[in-house]
Structure 1
Amino acid sequence: MTSLRLSPGLDATALARAFQAGGQRLHIPGILVTEAADAIEAVLAAERRWKTTVAAGGTYLELPLDGRVAEDPAKQAWLDEAAVDGSSPLTQYIFDTRRLTAERELEVTRGDAADAVLDWLNSETFIAFVRTVTGDDRIDLADAQASRYRPGHVLTSHNDVSPGKNRLYGYVLNFSRDWRADWGGNLVFYGEDGHIEHGWVPAFNALNLFVVPTRHAVTQVASFAARDRLSIVGWLRSNTALGPQSREGDRRY
């Protein structure tokens, strides 16, 4: 298996200055050596055993897939009928997932490049790198899930606060090539006035990093998107309990 390594040209000290100047969020292109990014993309693109996870319009479910359809054909209608309630203030989502951390805990890992990402994210090298970039020595570990957003998939506004999880920073490792902004699937950040303050288009082999809490969303992938949005996402966490992070909290299902 290809070894996962940070690109040798990254300057963690310069990235740390950019992270603070950008309001504790940062886009880092070329995060991995090219052969590692290629290997991860290949695994995610070929994956068939996703689960679609839905919390939208009063529907709550997670169903195994065979490729792009329900593994149990009798349940396909559940997925076809899932839709976001646009009038609801609650966080809603529809996307495909492969829960890397949960699979590891259940000892059902597949031993591929996606599994290797979880090990790499928790390696001394990567933890030291993100501690330097964020200036935060409280980071002890990372969790991870692979995600696939197909046309119609979306994650509405939320701030990532989850009591007891000790989340310090959210991250997105992107593995979508040649993505266009008008395909949707963009990571957007909201200001206090509700306007979009900043945003990033999915970019192959790039790391997006931001402090928790930060109100953000993944915009709906367009019906005409030419490919799926592939990524590995999660949070950098502390082993020590955190104090209150937000008076508002996260209004999620």
Structure 2
Amino acid sequence: MSDIRLSPDLDVASLAAAFAGRQRLHIPNILASASAEAVASVLEAETRWKTTVAAGGAHFEVPLDGRRAADPARQSWLDEAAVDGTSPVPQYIFDTRRLGLERVGLDDGRDTQDAADAVLDWLNSPECLDFLRKLTGDDRIDLCDAQASRYRPGHVLTAHNDTSVGKNRLYGYVLNFSRDWRADWGGNLVFYGRDGHIEHGWVPAFNALNLFVVPTRHAVTQVSSFAARDRLSIVGWVRSHQKVGPQTREEARSVAY
């Protein structure tokens, strides 16, 4: 299993000052080069993803063999999945893969961890947690969760704020492994202001970390039909063991401007 490491060239003090200004930050070249290449190689070669769908009133997850449903009888579910553009409810269609020990020996036929799995261990290592505490100035940080994600043409995640009752989410993050991505391919992480306009956004960039405070209203724009490759990343939340943020559905709705 690969040894995941932060880049030795990071200036943590400067990054912390930048994060404090807007409570969100894009950090290029976050990992040591060898670590980034190892993770990217795994995600690029992966075939056993699952497509997860919560769109148009449908909710399901379908294991894939490459880019098709592993069970041919379920391919129609994927072909017919579509976002209801009139609904205010957050919706999504994208591919996902479990990470870490919870995946090993389950339904993907593997019994060892790879470089992508190693990212979850690294995110919860003293090195990474200490880095995140220094970066955010937040001593409540205790753990991170993670999943690998793949967005193909047509995949999307509509506007939401990441608030989830009882999860104690402090920050959302996207660790990008998409090479040479173009903005007009879609798949951009965008942030909305209270007026509904896009006030900020980032294009997927290889070996870059995007970090932002929860709650923040944001979305992943739909990947275009002409995107030349898939949008690959590891995503999740930086969390606390302490009770933080809205703890009831009513409180959560109150911050979903």
TM-score, normalized by the shorter chain, greater than 0.5: yes
Name the residue aligned to 2:94: 95
Question: CA shift at 1:100, angstroms?
Answer: 1.8
TM-score (norm 1): 0.95
Deviations 1:96-125 (A, max 9, x none): 001226x52776464100110000000000
Structure 1 alignment gaps of length 5 or more: none
- 8 Å CA contact 1:154, 1:220 repeated in 2: yes
Query: d(CA) in 1 for partners of 2:133 and 2:155?
Result: 32
Helix, strand or coil for the counterpart of 2:96?
strand
Instruction: Tell me if 1:14 matches 2:17.
Output: no
Whole-angstrom CA distance in 2 between matches of 1:247 and 1:153: 26
Deviations 1:149-168 (A, max 9, x none): 00000000000000010000
**Matches of residues 119-198 of structure 1 in structure 2 within 5 Å?**
119-198=121-200
1:117 to 116, 119, 124: 119
- In the alignment, the residues of structure 2 paired with residue 213 and residue 153 of structure 1 have an alpha-carbon distance, to the nearest angstrom, of 23
Aligned length: 249
Counterpart of 1:46 in structure 2 is 45
- Amino acid in structure 2 at the alignment position of 1:16: A
Matched, 1:2 2:2: yes
What TM-score comes out, normalization by structure 2 length? 0.93
- Asked if residue 69 in structure 1 is aligned to residue 68 in structure 2, the reply is yes
Please give the alpha-carbon distance, in whole angstroms, between the structure 1 residues aligned to 2:122 and 2:102: 14
User: Contact between 1:161 and 1:249, CA under 8 Å: does it hold in 2?
Assistant: no
Q: Structure 2: where are the runs of 5+ without partners?
A: none
Q: Conserved in 1, the CA contact under 8 Å of 2:104 and 2:112?
A: no
**2:189/2:203 contact within 8 Å kept:** yes
SS at match of 2:59: strand
- Contact kept? 2:165, 2:252, Cα under 8 Å: no
Structure 1 residues 31 and 83: CA distance shift in structure 2, 3 A: same
Alignment of 1:23-42 (within 5 A): 23-42=22-41
Q: What is the rounded CA distance, in whole Å, between the counterparts of 1:149 and 1:221 in structure 2?
A: 7
Retained in 1: the 8 A contact 2:2–2:114? no
In 1, the alpha carbon distance for the partners of 2:37 and 2:166 equals: 35
Deviations 1:177-216 (A, max 9, x none): 1000000000000000000000000000000000000000
- Provide the identity percentage: 73
Structure 1 residues 236, 179: closer, same or farther in 2, change over 3 A?
Answer: same
In structure 2, the partner of 1:218 is 220
Matches within 5 A, 1:199-214: 199-214=201-216
* TM-superposed deviation, 1:249: 5.5
Equivalent residues of 2:169, 2:237 under 8 A apart: yes
| Distance in 2 (alpha carbons) for counterparts of 1:16 and 1:130 | 9
